Amino acid sequence: MSDAEHPSKSASPIASAPVRRVRQGPVMPIGGAEEKSVDANDSILERFIELAGGKKSRITVIPTASEDPEEAGQRYVKVFGKHGLDNVEVLHLEQRPDANDQKSIEVIERATGIFITGGDQARLVSMLSGTRVMECIRERNAEGVIVAGTSAGASILAAHMLVGGTGIAGKSGDASARKAMVELVAGFGLLQDVIIDQHFSQRGRMGRLLTAFASNPGLIGIGLDEDTAVVVDRGGMLEVLGTGMVTIIDGRNSMSDYFERNPREVLSIVNSSLHVLGPSRKFNLDSRQPIPFETNA
């Protein structure tokens, strides 16, 4: 790692531990609505293909979250085909026992890149969490296979998965952070100590990310805009891809009144760190610090 990728020596120290990481390969959460055209320069999908092995990639698409998995799977087969790939396989899981079937495991084992589509986050959890397919995805990623997910598929990559509100505190798109606005469930655990939300700016989701953040002190909240992704490498270095921004909230030193409030009440959160990063910017998850960059000031 170059000196440029280390936190600035002049930056104020933060009394915090690094984000814990299991042994992992590259992980790529995508905020949804990613550019799919082959004409797009440095597109998110092109980087995914590069990390999966280029034109020799063997991609497994998992469309389980979609309302129409068959259509979603074939759509991405066509998308990757336009990018020059002819070895794309769709893993169809119609019910939870399918995710424990040996034939499903063999599909994952053949892949050099795994792509999880968007849709219903609750469906992903109910169909995949705790199954042999989930464990196989973890194992393949530890071996170096890139795992990407878009929209709902992005949220499940972390250990903590944010899902829509229970209805106790109203719509989860409320701009204000309110107790019980959202709930967290277990994700795949490819990224530890992280919460990921998607369609972030487009759907005004700062309130719900802050709610999850307040109820789970110490986590890092990552909000991904549409056509925006982050790729996290083995060393914990996060890089922003795409055309939008990434919002990062660090809560190691923050305090809130979450557990003193009643459902629906607005929360107070203090001493948290907010970072907003555009394309190509980097953030070190181990030090919880952005990588310095040149300014014109």
Q: Could you give the residue numbers annotated as active site?
A: 151, 199, 226
**Can you give the length of the chain in residues?**
297
To 5 degrees, how large is the angle CA 31–CA 279–CA 21?
65
Q: Residue 186: which of 240, 131, 224 has the closest Cα? A: 131
What DSSP state is assigned to residue 3?
A: G
The answer to whether the beta carbons of residues 60 and 107 sit under 8 Å apart is: yes
Spell out where 110-245 has E strands: 113-116, 146-150, 158-163, 183-186, 191-197, 220-224, 228-232, 237-242
What DSSP state is assigned to residue 205?
A: -
CA distances from 49 to 9, 109, 110, 170, 226 (A): 35, 17, 15, 40, 19
The answer to whether the beta carbons of residues 142 and 23 sit under 8 Å apart is: yes
DSSP codes, 37-76: -TTSTT-HHHHHHHHHTGGG--EEEE-TTSSSHHHHHHHH
CA quadruple 152, 158, 159, 164: dihedral sign: negative
